[in-house]
């Protein structure tokens, strides 16, 4: 047996073991609950019948004001929380009243990362495996911390802050490989993915998302994309050698299929935002890539938005689900893209099976399943020569933010996701590359989408590409989703309501106004007292730290006027990081 095959077998066994443990014991040990990234828990104490009795039982201020994306982890009798920069790691003792801290880990992390992070100082969480917590610091480092003592085990520099690389994503650990990437699509980085050794932090492989085949770990024997063929797609699809500063960052979520031994992740926008500086498809920006964890080899890839002209990152979650499509069982991969379409693939080969809009879309009329390509509306193509292009839906905040991962219930066979109902005008400008500064070239004011609401929480049938129900919200909806075997789904709103809804009908079951807007992802767990709880962060931020107006009160030099499409959000919320736990 080759080393790679041996590794794959071990990884697969480990994956199955972890999945089984996580499913059976009420823990939440990895960002998306399981390797399939379902954010589904089989806990059943909280049901659609009793959820109206949910109320807050415990809160804790993290002392940090940045946007609290991501989610806590619960392993055994401990809850772990990573804050936005300065990336404090808290360990709470769930076995004692008041959940006092067991320990607190304070990493050294550069304050320069604040300015290099485009969209607030967010962190999307830690991953627990083998007694270690693994997470990224904003300034381009990955750390491993001993889960019992809070002692730092290793710290590795993975990214170059000086080039505009910051690290906001949660790692995925497969076997002994810690998979990480970097943000920086606004700084013209040369987007990449790395695997670190779980025990030492040493880099095992480093692959790029574009560039020469050698840099991308593409070889003819293993690379079999369903729609695209030929060598060096990662350079040939970028005019003027623009791949060298082409962005395609990795800052979202990953999934792993132990049977196929493939990791799935999405890439962000191509840089700069003015598409005329990078003629061609720009592969593999705004794409999903399937790679082997052992050596990073690329197996298949699909580009959602060729020649991205609207900042449509594809870093949103890739969810593994076994679906029945037209009566046939399908090993599916489901993705809600910033570009407004929801995609259902055959995850073994990247064949697109379903692609339908889940929010109002104007940049394309649809997606051709035979070619995999969007049917573009030429009047919505952007670039310096196009001037100010109006009425593009969705806005570059996305039909859903990649920061807001969906959930999938194998009981209802439905996906649950937040959405944004915003459109934009897009006026591109020539961008100059200057290392360590933004490489953008855009002015893009937003407008409300049609219908008189700015966001929603929806249930989606990915087998047919159909919206099953929709709970409309006054503001863009930016939290992740959670769904349970009690058939209850959970989400939070930008103005700070934490809600539970009936997973089958969308009927609201409970609501509570938490301390700040919710941009994090709810989780559920069983505490040492045997009861089921739901935890979520409050902490308005992410893009909404920039766009909400006067929601920041700790800096007298930063006072912002309200956004003209939602003038009153600052009436309802302001910054503030808190963990909330709800129970019956």
Partner 1 sequence: MNANVPVAALAAVLMAALLCGCTRQPAPAPAQPATPPAVRYESHLAAGGLLPPGAVLRNPHAGDVAVAKSGAQLFNAMNCDGCHGEDASGNWAPNLGDGRWRYGGADAEVFSSIYYGRPKGMPAFGGVLGAEGVWTLVTYLRSLAPPPNIPTESWQEPP
Judged by beta carbon, residue 137 or residue 523, the one nearer partner 1 is 137
Subset of 411-470 contacting partner 1 (CB under 8 A): 429, 431-440, 443
DSSP string, 538-549: E---THHHHHSS
Among 43, 91, 109, 117, binds partner 1 (CB under 8 A): 117
**313 is known as an active-site residue:** no
Closest CA to 345 of 328, 366, 320, 362: 320
Subset of 136-175 contacting partner 1 (CB under 8 A): none
As measured in angstroms, the least distance from the Cβ of 185 to partner 1 is 12
As measured in angstroms, the least distance from the Cβ of 238 to partner 1 is 11
As measured in angstroms, the least distance from the Cβ of 179 to partner 1 is 26
- Binding span for partner 1 by CB under 8 A among 25-33, 87-95, 514-522, 561-569: 561-569
Biggest CA-to-CA distance, the chain = 64
As measured in angstroms, the least distance from the Cβ of 568 to partner 1 is 4
Which secondary-structure segment (H or E) carries 299?
Answer: strand 298-303
- Binding span for partner 1 by CB under 8 A among 20-28, 117-125, 339-347, 373-381: 117-125
Residue 485 touches partner 1, criterion: CB under 8 A: no
Residue 130 touches partner 1, criterion: CB under 8 A: no
Among 6, 111, 149, 199, binds partner 1 (CB under 8 A): 111
d(CA 144, CA 127): 10
Which secondary-structure segment (H or E) carries 264?
Answer: strand 262-266
**206 is known as an active-site residue:** no
As measured in angstroms, the least distance from the Cβ of 439 to partner 1 is 7
As measured in angstroms, the least distance from the Cβ of 562 to partner 1 is 5
Q: Which of 186, 215, 257, 276 is catalytic?
A: 186
Among 16, 17, 214, 559, binds partner 1 (CB under 8 A): 559
Q: How far is CA 113 from the centre of its chain?
A: 20
Judged by beta carbon, residue 371 or residue 432, the one nearer partner 1 is 432
* DSSP for residue 420: E
Among 390, 508, 562, 584, binds partner 1 (CB under 8 A): 562
Residue 241 touches partner 1, criterion: CB under 8 A: yes
Beta carbons of 205 and 241 less than 8 angstroms apart? no
Judged by beta carbon, residue 453 or residue 533, the one nearer partner 1 is 453
Judged by beta carbon, residue 18 or residue 159, the one nearer partner 1 is 159
Among 357, 492, 549, 576, binds partner 1 (CB under 8 A): 549
As measured in angstroms, the least distance from the Cβ of 560 to partner 1 is 6
Residue 472 touches partner 1, criterion: CB under 8 A: no
Residue 474 touches partner 1, criterion: CB under 8 A: no
- Binding span for partner 1 by CB under 8 A among 100-108, 400-408, 500-508, 564-572: 564-572
| Total chain residues near partner 1 (CB under 8 A) | 43
- Binding span for partner 1 by CB under 8 A among 227-235, 240-248, 331-339, 358-366: 240-248
b or e along 134-164 (b: 16 or more beta carbons within 10 Å of the residue's beta carbon)?
A: bbbbbbbbbbbbebeebeebbebebbbbebb
* DSSP for residue 296: -
Among 115, 239, 279, 366, binds partner 1 (CB under 8 A): 115
**311 is known as an active-site residue:** yes
Beta carbons of 183 and 166 less than 8 angstroms apart? yes
DSSP string, 429-478: ------TTS----EE--EEE-TTS-SEEEEEEETTTTEEEEEEEESS---
DSSP string, 214-255: HHHT--TTT---SS--SS-HHHHTSGGGGGGG-B----S-EE
Residue 555 touches partner 1, criterion: CB under 8 A: yes
Which secondary-structure segment (H or E) carries 415?
Answer: strand 414-420
Judged by beta carbon, residue 115 or residue 366, the one nearer partner 1 is 115
- Binding span for partner 1 by CB under 8 A among 41-49, 141-149, 370-378, 555-563: 555-563
Among 4, 57, 95, 114, binds partner 1 (CB under 8 A): 114
**Sequence-ordered list of residues with C-beta below 8 angstroms from that of 5, at least 6 positions apart, any chain:** none
Q: What are the C-alpha distances in Å from 522 to residues 68, 234, 448, 488, 539?
A: 11, 37, 27, 12, 13
175: left (phi over 0), alpha (psi -120 to 50) or beta: left
d(CA 52, CA 46): 10
**Sequence-ordered list of residues with C-beta below 8 angstroms from that of 233, at least 6 positions apart, any chain:** 218, 281, 283, 284
Among 69, 165, 186, 313, binds partner 1 (CB under 8 A): 186
As measured in angstroms, the least distance from the Cβ of 455 to partner 1 is 18
- Binding span for partner 1 by CB under 8 A among 6-14, 44-52, 237-245, 366-374: 237-245
Q: Is 196 helix (H, G, I), strand (E, B) or coil?
A: strand
Q: Which two tokens stand for residue 96?
A: 């004692």
Residue 523 touches partner 1, criterion: CB under 8 A: no
Q: Which of 215, 281, 311, 543 is catalytic?
A: 311
Closest CA to 399 of 444, 445, 454: 454
Which secondary-structure segment (H or E) carries 4?
Answer: helix 3-24
Residue 561 touches partner 1, criterion: CB under 8 A: yes
End-to-end CA, the chain: 52
- Binding span for partner 1 by CB under 8 A among 3-11, 66-74, 113-121, 483-491: 113-121
d(CA 159, CA 101): 31
As measured in angstroms, the least distance from the Cβ of 194 to partner 1 is 21
The arrangement of strands across the sheet holding 523-526 comes to: 55-61, 578-583, 532-538, 523-526
Subset of 243-282 contacting partner 1 (CB under 8 A): 244-245
Residue 108 touches partner 1, criterion: CB under 8 A: no
As measured in angstroms, the least distance from the Cβ of 545 to partner 1 is 8
d(CA 489, CA 477): 15
As measured in angstroms, the least distance from the Cβ of 161 to partner 1 is 9
Q: Which of 209, 269, 420, 521 is catalytic?
A: 269
The site for partner 1 (CB under 8 A) is made up of 111-120, 186, 240-241, 244-245, 429, 431-440, 443, 545-546, 549-550, 555-562, 567-568, 570-571
Active site residues: 186, 269, 311
């Amino acid at each position: 047996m080759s080393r790679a095959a041996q590794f794959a077998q071990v990884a697969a066994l480990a994956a199955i073991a972890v999945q089984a443990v996580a499913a059976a014991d009420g823990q939440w040990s990895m960002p998306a609950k399981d390797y399939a990234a379902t954010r589904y828990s089989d806990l059943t104490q909280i049901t659609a019948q009793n959820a109206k009795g949910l109320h807050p039982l415990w809160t804790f201020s993290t002392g940090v004001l940045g946007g609290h994306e991501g989610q806590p982890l619960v392993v055994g009798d401990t809850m772990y929380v990573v804050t936005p920069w300065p990336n404090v790691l808290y360990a709470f003792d769930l076995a004692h009243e008041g959940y006092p801290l067991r320990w607190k880990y304070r990493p050294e992390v550069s304050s320069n990362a604040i300015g290099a992070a485009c969209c607030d100082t967010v962190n999307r969480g830690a991953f627990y495996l083998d007694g270690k917590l693994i997470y990224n610091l904003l300034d381009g480092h990955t750390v491993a911390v001993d889960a019992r003592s809070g002692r730092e085990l290793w710290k590795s520099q993975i990214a170059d802050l000086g080039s505009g690389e910051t690290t906001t994503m949660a790692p995925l650990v497969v076997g002994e490989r810690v998979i990480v990437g970097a943000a920086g699509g606004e700084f013209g980085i040369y987007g990449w993915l790395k695997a670190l050794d779980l025990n030492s932090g040493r880099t095992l492989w480093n692959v790029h998302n574009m560039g020469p085949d050698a840099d991308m770990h593409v070889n003819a024997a293993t690379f079999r994309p369903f729609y695209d063929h030929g060598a060096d797609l990662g350079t040939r699809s970028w005019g003027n050698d623009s791949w060298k500063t082409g962005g395609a960052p990795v800052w979202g979520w990953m999934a792993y299929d132990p049977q196929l031994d493939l990791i799935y992740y999405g890439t962000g926008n191509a840089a700069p935002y003015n598409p005329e500086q990078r003629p061609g498809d720009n592969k593999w920006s705004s794409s999903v890539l399937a790679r082997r964890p052992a050596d990073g080899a690329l197996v298949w890839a699909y580009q959602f938005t060729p020649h991205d002209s609207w900042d449509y990152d594809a870093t949103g979650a890739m969810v593994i689900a076994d679906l029945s499509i037209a009566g046939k069982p399908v090993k599916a991969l489901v993705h809600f893209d910033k570009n407004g379409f929801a995609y259902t693939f055959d995850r073994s080969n990247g064949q697109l099976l379903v692609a339908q809009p889940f929010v109002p879309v104007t940049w394309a009329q649809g997606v051709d399943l035979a070619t995999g390509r969007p049917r573009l509306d030429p009047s919505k193509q952007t670039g310096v020569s196009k001037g100010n292009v109006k009425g593009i839906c969705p806005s570059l905040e996305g039909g859903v933010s990649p920061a807001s991962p969906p959930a999938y219930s194998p009981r209802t066979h439905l996906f649950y996701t937040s959405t944004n109902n915003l459109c934009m005008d897009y006026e591109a400008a020539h961008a100059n590359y200057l290392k360590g500064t933004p490489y953008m070239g855009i002015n893009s004011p937003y407008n409300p989408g049609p219908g008189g609401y700015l966001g929603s929480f929806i249930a989606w049938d990915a087998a047919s590409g159909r919206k099953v129900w929709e709970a409309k919200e006054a503001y863009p909806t930016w939290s992740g989703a959670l769904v349970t075997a009690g058939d209850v789904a959970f989400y939070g709103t930008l103005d700070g309501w934490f809600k539970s809804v009936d997973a089958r009908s969308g009927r609201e079951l409970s609501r509570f106004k938490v301390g700040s807007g919710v941009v994090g992802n709810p989780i559920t767990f069983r505490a040492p007292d045997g009861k089921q709880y739901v935890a979520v962060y409050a902490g308005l931020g992410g893009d909404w730290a920039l766009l909400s107006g006067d929601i920041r009160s700790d800096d007298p030099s930063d006072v912002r006027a309200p956004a003209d499409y939602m003038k009153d959000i600052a009436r309802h919320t302001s910054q503030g990081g808190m963990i909330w736990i709800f129970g019956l």
